[in-house]
């Protein structure tokens, strides 16, 4: 039996076929965009949770750093007070004074501990000196000559001429019995001594800055002084209102938002700061997922139309 050829598809059938194709494309788009919305919401939630976790972590770290820096300064203040009283009592160099300087350096790991008289001559030092040393023109010595208070002075980071390393000079004034200037006691420490080793992380920035806007320690090297970052200057206004808190800064270099927690160190003109970028990995995943889904929706539409 001979088969008859089928009749060509008529116009009504073509319309029905196109309707099914359009409906299929529409449903494909709906499924893809629904998936995209789910991914979007999930990543937003992850980003929010990561940001909250980062903020809590920064707050914990800044508290830890503040307590460690306060402890370092308190110990140094006690040691300098002990040396100051020893010198004020005898008004001259004693064997005990030299031994105390060396003992303090050995126990606490300071770069150096020394005593200078009213003329600026270093008369006792934990480090052996080949030649006489006069520090009368050094900034921390001149500060105590001009300032009658006996409180601790926290100097700027300098290359120490005594120890030959980058140092912060902590110092206090020695008074004669009549109240006149009698010299200084100074402890030479490394800036990193303020930060516990366990606190240091590669993706977190640690800053110890004075109320004079001068950085004493910064874990991430920068060629610009802290005071030139105009966005950060809001910190000092905040400290005047509240001793601890946080703020966000948009980096001029890469446009990333950084979250900074700060805390004023009680009893000292210093502020500890911990900063981290809040552009989390989930944000990057969100951008990639969005691109993939948009590309998929476009490909699906082209395939169905073809």
Tell me the DSSP string of 140-178: HHHHHHH----S-EEPPPEE-TTTSSEEEEEEEEEE-TT
Give the pLDDT of residue 244: 84
Model pLDDT, residue 304:
46
Structural domain spans, the chain:
72-192, 199-279
Q: Residues 85-94: what's their mean pLDDT?
A: 75
Higher pLDDT, 140 or 96: 140
pLDDT at 287 over 60: no
| 105-118 confidence digits (pLDDT tens) | 888 889 889 999 99
In whole angstroms, what is the distance from residue 306 CA to residue 285 CA? 31
Nearest alpha carbon to residue 286 among 40, 34, 31, 33? 40
Tell me the mean pLDDT in the region 218-234.
56
The dihedral region occupied by 292, where left means phi > 0, alpha psi between -120 and 50, and beta the remainder, is alpha
3-state helix, strand, coil in the chain (%, to 5): 50, 25, 30
Which CATH number does 72-192 carry? Answer: 3.30.450.20
What pLDDT was estimated at residue 282?
43
The Cβ of residue 252 has, within 10 Å, a number of other Cβ atoms equal to 9
Whether pLDDT at 120 is above 90: yes
Q: Is the pLDDT of residue 289 over 70?
A: no
pLDDT level of residue 7 (50, 70, 90 thresholds): very low
Q: Average per-residue pLDDT in the chain?
A: 75
Place of tokens 């910190």: 235
Contact 84, 153 (CB under 8 A): no
What's the whole-model pTM score? 0.69
pLDDT given at position 114 = 92
Closest C-alpha among 188, 131, 142, 183 to residue 164: 188
> What letter would DSSP give residue 198?
G
pLDDT digits 0-9 by tens, 244-274: 888 777 665 556 677 788 898 888 988 888 8
Q: How confident is the model at residue 185 (pLDDT cuts 50, 70, 90)?
A: very high
- Does domain 199-279 fall into CATH 3.30.450.20? yes
pLDDT value for 184: 93
- CA–CA separation, 189 and 192 (whole Å): 8
pLDDT of 79 above 80: yes
The reply to whether 199-279 shares the fold of 72-192 is yes
Tell me, what's the pLDDT at 137? 92
């Amino acid at each position: 039996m001979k088969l008859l050829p089928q009749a060509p598809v008529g116009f009504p059938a073509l319309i029905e076929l196109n309707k099914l194709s359009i409906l299929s494309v529409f449903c494909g788009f709906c499924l893809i965009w629904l998936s995209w919305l789910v991914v979007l919401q999930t990543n937003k939630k992850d980003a929010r949770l990561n940001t909250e976790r980062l903020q809590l972590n920064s707050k914990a770290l800044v508290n830890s750093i503040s307590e460690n820096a306060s402890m370092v300064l308190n110990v140094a203040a006690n040691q300098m007070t002990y040396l100051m009283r020893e010198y004020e009592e005898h008004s001259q160099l004693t064997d005990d004074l030299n031994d105390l300087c060396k003992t303090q350096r050995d126990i606490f790991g300071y770069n150096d501990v020394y005593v200078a008289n009213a003329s600026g001559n270093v008369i006792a030092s934990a480090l052996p000196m080949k030649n006489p040393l006069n520090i009368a023109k050094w900034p921390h010595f001149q500060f105590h000559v001009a300032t009658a208070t006996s409180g601790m002075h926290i100097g700027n980071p300098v290359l120490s001429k005594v120890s030959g390393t980058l140092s912060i000079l902590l110092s206090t004034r020695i008074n004669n019995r009549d109240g006149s200037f009698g010299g200084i006691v100074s402890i030479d420490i490394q800036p990193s001594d303020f930060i516990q080793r366990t606190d240091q992380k590669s993706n977190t920035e640690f800053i110890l800055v004075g109320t004079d806007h001068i950085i004493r320690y910064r874990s991430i090297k920068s060629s610009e002084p802290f005071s030139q970052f105009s966005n950060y200057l809001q910190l000092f206004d905040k400290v005047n209102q509240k001793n601890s808190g946080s703020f966000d800064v948009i980096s001029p270099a890469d446009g990333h938002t950084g979250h900074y927690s700060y805390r004023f160190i009680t009893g000292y003109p210093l502020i500890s700061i911990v900063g981290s970028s809040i552009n989390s990995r989930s944000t990057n995943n969100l951008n990639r997922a969005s691109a993939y889904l948009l590309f998929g929706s476009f490909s699906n539409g082209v395939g169905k139309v073809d």
